[in-house]
Chain A
Amino acid sequence: DVKVTQSSRYLVKRTGEKVFLECVQDMDHENMFWYRQDPGLGLRLIYFSYDVKMKEKGDIPEGYSVSREKKERFSLILESASTNQTSMYLCASSRVYEQYFGPGTRLTVT
């Protein structure tokens, strides 16, 4: 079975802090994705990566950056957290068709 893990299930940070969310997949997938999920808005794509050191902006990249130094790991960085970044963050990976998701990180910025 594909396994996608995320570094934290719950995280509380203060406004202005730099926040790192880590995602690791164990199936040698080329593609990895970061989404945020908010009630009534569904999933919105922040960034994705189709190879090591490659990244593409999704629909809502503002305020975020990403890093992919190794194939199995994709990090989401909030350079200066703000309260409007309070959300559920979901990481996913894929090879050909469907995406496989991690359990999510619920981030609260106070």
Chain B
Amino acid sequence: AQSVAQPEDQVNVAEGNPLTVKCTYSVSGNPYLFWYVQYPNRGLQFLLKYITGDNLVKGSYGFEAEFNKSQTSFHLKKPSALVSDSALYFCAVRDKGDDKIIFGKGTRLHILP
């Protein structure tokens, strides 16, 4: 069965510092991996995805994520955090051949001015 874990409920980072939001996954086959962001009282916005190819994928708002097959991880990163990056971030995984996406429980990111 597919699963995804976000080990940190909350991450605090000072503005201007690099940020990392962690995600690990478990699938039986090859994964499709996604990151979404949710601002207060809004739906989820798609940030980036890994399907195949380069392990480092770039997405919206300067975010990027690195697919690491041996560690079954897909951590979200940004070189320099902005206060406006404060939001709830969800990692998600989908097994190839399955239409369903499994979401993690979310990590709340606080960027401190």
A48-B99 in contact given A42-B106, A98-B49, A101-B44 (Cβ < 8 Å):
yes
Q: Is B99 a contact partner of A50 (Cβ separation < 8 A)?
A: yes
Whole-angstrom CA separation of A104 from B38 in the bound complex: 11
User: Can you name the residue of chain A whose Cβ is closest to the Cβ of B36?
Assistant: A101
Q: Which residues of A contact B46 (CB under 8 A)?
A: 98-100
- Total interface residues on B, CB under 8 Å, equals 20
Q: Is B32 a contact partner of A104 (Cβ separation < 8 A)?
A: no
Q: Which residues of B contact A48 (CB under 8 A)?
A: 99-100
A58-B100 in contact given A90-B43, A98-B49, A104-B42 (Cβ < 8 Å):
yes
Q: Which residues of B8-48 have CB atoms within 8 Å of chain A's CB atoms?
A: 32, 34, 36, 41-46
- Total interface residues on A, CB under 8 Å, equals 24
Query: What's the nearest-Cβ distance from chain A to residue B97, in Å?
Result: 13
A31-B99 in contact given A41-B105, A43-B90, A98-B34 (Cβ < 8 Å):
yes
Q: Which residues of A contact B51 (CB under 8 A)?
A: 97
Q: Is B41 a contact partner of A40 (Cβ separation < 8 A)?
A: no
Query: What's the nearest-Cβ distance from chain B to residue A21, in Å?
Result: 13
Q: Is B43 a contact partner of A103 (Cβ separation < 8 A)?
A: yes
Q: Which residues of A contact B44 (CB under 8 A)?
A: 43, 90, 92, 99, 101
CB within 8 Å of B: which residues of A?
Answer: 4, 9, 31, 35, 40-43, 45, 48, 50, 58, 90, 92, 94, 97-104, 106
CB within 8 Å of A: which residues of B?
Answer: 32, 34, 36, 41-46, 49, 51, 90, 94, 99-101, 103-106
3 smallest A-B Cβ distances: which pairs? A101-B43, A42-B105, A43-B103
Known contacts A35-B103, A101-B45, then 11 further A-B pairs from the complex at CB < 8 Å, ordered by chain A residue? A42-B103, A42-B106, A43-B103, A50-B99, A58-B100, A90-B44, A94-B99, A99-B44, A100-B46, A101-B43, A104-B41
